A and B are shown apart, each in its own frame.
Chain A
Amino acid sequence: MPYAVTLKWRDGRETTVDVRETETVIDATERAGLGVPYGCLYGACATCTGRLLEGDLVHVKRPRGLKPRHRQDGYFLLCVAEPRSDCRIEVGAEIQADLVPNPWK
């Protein structure tokens, strides 16, 4: 049975996609044509960063692009993350920009 994963953009848009067993969130969003950003597809670049709001999401490969503090704050790399329950995830390019602010500012 697929899980219902609700994606929430910061502009207020929300949509729900079915994510199959053993399918990454990015694979499901691509299948559905939802335009969630991604880059390397192997957990190194963090372009696909999302923030888990509710539910159970697990990394199936090591998310090299995230630091421990990011993981503690609920950030996931959606190219190597699969749901284990229905989820709500904040997505969009702005989420990645949360990870590393301008250090001089």
Chain B
Amino acid sequence: MSTDEPSESTDVHGHEHHEVEGPGYPTPAAMRTGSEREKTAFVMSLRVGMDVDGPDFVGVVDVDPDSDTYAELIDTVEMPNKGDELHHFGWNTCSSSCHAEGLTRDHLIVPGQRSSRIHIIDASDPRNPAIEKVIEPEEVFEHDLSAPHTVHCVPEGKIVISMLGNADGELPGGFLQLDQDDFSIDGHWEADRGNMEMNYDYWYQPRHGVMISSEWAAPETYYPGFDLEDVEAGRYGDSIHIWDWATKEHHQTLSFGEEGLIPLEVRMPHNPEETEGYVGAALSSNVLRFWEDGDGNWDWEKVIDIEDREHPDWDMPVPGLVTDLLLSLDDQYLFFSNWLHGDVRMYDVSDTGNPRLVDQVWAGGNFGDRGAVGGHEIRGAPQMLQLSRDGRRLYWTTSLFSTWDNQFYPEIGEQGSLMLKADVYPEEGRMELDEEFVVDFGDAPGGPARAHEIRWPGGDCTSDVWQ
């Protein structure tokens, strides 16, 4: 069954455990093996922090190799306002909603990181999406929240968005809950925040009633750019938080200290039986594993350490900066990016506590020896990742965050960033840069743009959770 056609034909799936039809797949294996190849990619595309007088847009990229417009930006959905900094986005429903009748995976929830504006996009025709509703910042500020980040659809007809600041862009952050029917704001998701102040990404395992959230910093701290003074002053995060998914109460804090500075993306296995996961600590450039110890408490260990590297022209050793990571749908491979070094890595995590590096692709960055793809200069380095559902194609974009781009890769702010791809051979445990695939957002209609997070119609391994 294609998952890339207008949604009318995609919303009916069997379910091996329940006599209920829903918008997702009954199991991660069903999604991995039962869906067709991705044909369309939605890509967050930004003009924030550039001298391009235009709004951010959702880019529609053709990723169907049989199409005449393969590897081209075929549509752009411009935001009604400028200055949003579109960053991460998500679906109204996913495989976790498989017990909810009548829902269709047909709306994208697209927040603006800087504006705190939340856009609802009707994507029922993946090649002709359109804005349906806009939640204005003032409606968000009423709940003393700002800076929306991770969007997950969750069971019981809700959408939860991690929010990084209060209405003034200061700490604490929290979680905003929307209703899946009319996209109205319910209020805060959390019932008791405990000692959680900083927020960033989150993942949940509904079968075990647990949610894990990570920490960046206060919006007023990270918005203007990365300043080591802020790290020394303790203004950046070094912990993750364990939440009781049922009671919505804070349960435990795991503090990593120097080993886990700025823990960003959180990924748990797609297998809903699992009670462990990984988080990438960007500044410490470590991948940390966390797990439930059997008594309802959680523990952690460092499983991957990226060594800083000396750069001949730089004063201090340069960290890799692990900015994104993901797990394949069969939970066998972990991929992550080192945005300052310039590589994307593939680890076999069959033995979850002992990840084994199997391959690495260098493209752009401060240490990569490959400076161009298909005649296009690589501006930036591997950053936001998205893997095909069958685990055979890894795509990435090269922009991180407008002000941080302008600090570390200023050419992105002037000429836009890129979307690239590697072919992955899971049976052989290797990957290879596809020199034929490059989408240069420097050529976007209306002027250069920064390309950020990628999603597929039909779901993907960073948005779907199974009950």
Other CB < 8 Å A-B pairs besides A45-B220, A67-B227, 11 of them? A34-B53, A44-B165, A44-B220, A46-B403, A47-B85, A47-B403, A97-B407, A100-B224, A101-B407, A104-B315, A105-B313
Distance of B166 from chain A, by nearest CB (Å): 10
Q: Knowing A37-B49, A37-B50, A93-B49 touch, does A100 contact B402 (C-beta < 8 A)?
A: no
- Chain A residues contacting B226 (CB-CB under 8 Å) are 100, 103
The answer to whether the Cβ of A35 comes within 8 Å of any Cβ in the partner chain is yes
Distance of B355 from chain A, by nearest CB (Å): 26
The reply to whether B315 and A45 contact each other, CB–CB distance below 8 Å, is no
The reply to whether A45 and B223 contact each other, CB–CB distance below 8 Å, is yes
- Chain B residues contacting A46 (CB-CB under 8 Å) are 223-225, 403
The answer to whether the Cβ of B293 comes within 8 Å of any Cβ in the partner chain is no
Bound complex: CA of A49 vs CA of B311, how far in Å?
31
- Chain B residues contacting A67 (CB-CB under 8 Å) are 227
Bound complex: CA of A53 vs CA of B317, how far in Å?
37
The answer to whether the Cβ of B406 comes within 8 Å of any Cβ in the partner chain is yes
Bound complex: CA of A103 vs CA of B318, how far in Å?
10
Distance of A49 from chain B, by nearest CB (Å): 8
- Chain A residues contacting B223 (CB-CB under 8 Å) are 39-40, 44-47, 65
Could you say which interface size class chain B belongs to?
Answer: 35 or more
Among the interface residues B115, B314, B410, which one has the most CB atoms of the partner chain A within 10 A? B115
The answer to whether the Cβ of A83 comes within 8 Å of any Cβ in the partner chain is no
Distance of A63 from chain B, by nearest CB (Å): 10
Contact of A44 among B53, B169, B317, B413 (CB under 8 A): B169
Which residues B51-97 have CB closer than 8 A to chain A? 51-53, 82-85
Closest 3 CB pairs of A and B: A35-B53, A44-B169, A100-B225
Could you give, for residues 30-56 of chain A, a 1 whenever the CB lies within 8 Å of some chain B CB and a 0 otherwise?
000111011111111111010000000
Could you give, for residues 67-100 of chain A, a 1 whenever the CB lies within 8 Å of some chain B CB and a 0 otherwise?
1000000000000000000000000111011011
The reply to whether A96 and B115 contact each other, CB–CB distance below 8 Å, is no
Contact of B170 among A39, A64, A99 (CB under 8 A): A64
Distance of B318 from chain A, by nearest CB (Å): 5
Bound complex: CA of A44 vs CA of B173, how far in Å?
14
Bound complex: CA of A100 vs CA of B143, how far in Å?
31
B→A interface (CB under 8 Å): 48-53, 82-85, 114-116, 137, 146, 165, 168-170, 219-220, 223-228, 311, 313-318, 340, 402-403, 406-408, 410, 413
The answer to whether the Cβ of A17 comes within 8 Å of any Cβ in the partner chain is no
Residue of A nearest to B317 (CB): A104
The answer to whether the Cβ of A4 comes within 8 Å of any Cβ in the partner chain is no
Q: Knowing A37-B49, A104-B315 touch, does A66 contact B224 (C-beta < 8 A)?
A: yes
The answer to whether the Cβ of A15 comes within 8 Å of any Cβ in the partner chain is no
Bound complex: CA of A59 vs CA of B467, how far in Å?
50
- Chain A residues contacting B316 (CB-CB under 8 Å) are 103-104
The reply to whether B227 and A103 contact each other, CB–CB distance below 8 Å, is yes
The reply to whether B82 and A38 contact each other, CB–CB distance below 8 Å, is yes
- Chain A residues contacting B116 (CB-CB under 8 Å) are 40
Residue of A nearest to B308 (CB): A104
Distance of B137 from chain A, by nearest CB (Å): 8
Q: Knowing A101-B407, A104-B314 touch, does A44 contact B219 (C-beta < 8 A)?
A: yes
Among the interface residues B53, B165, B340, which one has the most CB atoms of the partner chain A within 10 A? B53
- Chain B residues contacting A92 (CB-CB under 8 Å) are 51
Residue of A nearest to B84 (CB): A39
17 contacts between A and B (CB under 8 A): A34-B53, A35-B52, A37-B48, A37-B83, A39-B85, A39-B115, A39-B223, A39-B402, A40-B146, A40-B223, A43-B169, A44-B220, A67-B227, A96-B224, A103-B227, A105-B313, A105-B315
Distance of B237 from chain A, by nearest CB (Å): 18
The reply to whether B228 and A103 contact each other, CB–CB distance below 8 Å, is yes
Contact of A102 among B51, B224, B408 (CB under 8 A): B408
The reply to whether B410 and A97 contact each other, CB–CB distance below 8 Å, is yes
Bound complex: CA of A38 vs CA of B52, how far in Å?
11
- Chain A residues contacting B219 (CB-CB under 8 Å) are 40, 44-45
Residue of A nearest to B52 (CB): A35
Q: Knowing A38-B83, A45-B169, A45-B219 touch, does A93 contact B50 (C-beta < 8 A)?
A: yes
The reply to whether B114 and A100 contact each other, CB–CB distance below 8 Å, is no
The reply to whether A99 and B314 contact each other, CB–CB distance below 8 Å, is no
The reply to whether A35 and B51 contact each other, CB–CB distance below 8 Å, is yes
The reply to whether B220 and A93 contact each other, CB–CB distance below 8 Å, is no
The reply to whether B115 and A41 contact each other, CB–CB distance below 8 Å, is yes
Bound complex: CA of A19 vs CA of B364, how far in Å?
43
- Chain B residues contacting A102 (CB-CB under 8 Å) are 407-408
- Chain B residues contacting A47 (CB-CB under 8 Å) are 48-49, 83, 85, 114, 223, 402-403
The reply to whether A64 and B83 contact each other, CB–CB distance below 8 Å, is no
Distance of B83 from chain A, by nearest CB (Å): 5
Bound complex: CA of A41 vs CA of B137, how far in Å?
10
Bound complex: CA of A85 vs CA of B116, how far in Å?
32
The reply to whether B83 and A42 contact each other, CB–CB distance below 8 Å, is no
Distance of B319 from chain A, by nearest CB (Å): 8
Bound complex: CA of A40 vs CA of B224, how far in Å?
11
Q: Knowing A47-B83, A47-B114, A64-B169 touch, does A39 contact B228 (C-beta < 8 A)?
A: no
Bound complex: CA of A88 vs CA of B146, how far in Å?
32
Residue of A nearest to B229 (CB): A67
Distance of B452 from chain A, by nearest CB (Å): 15
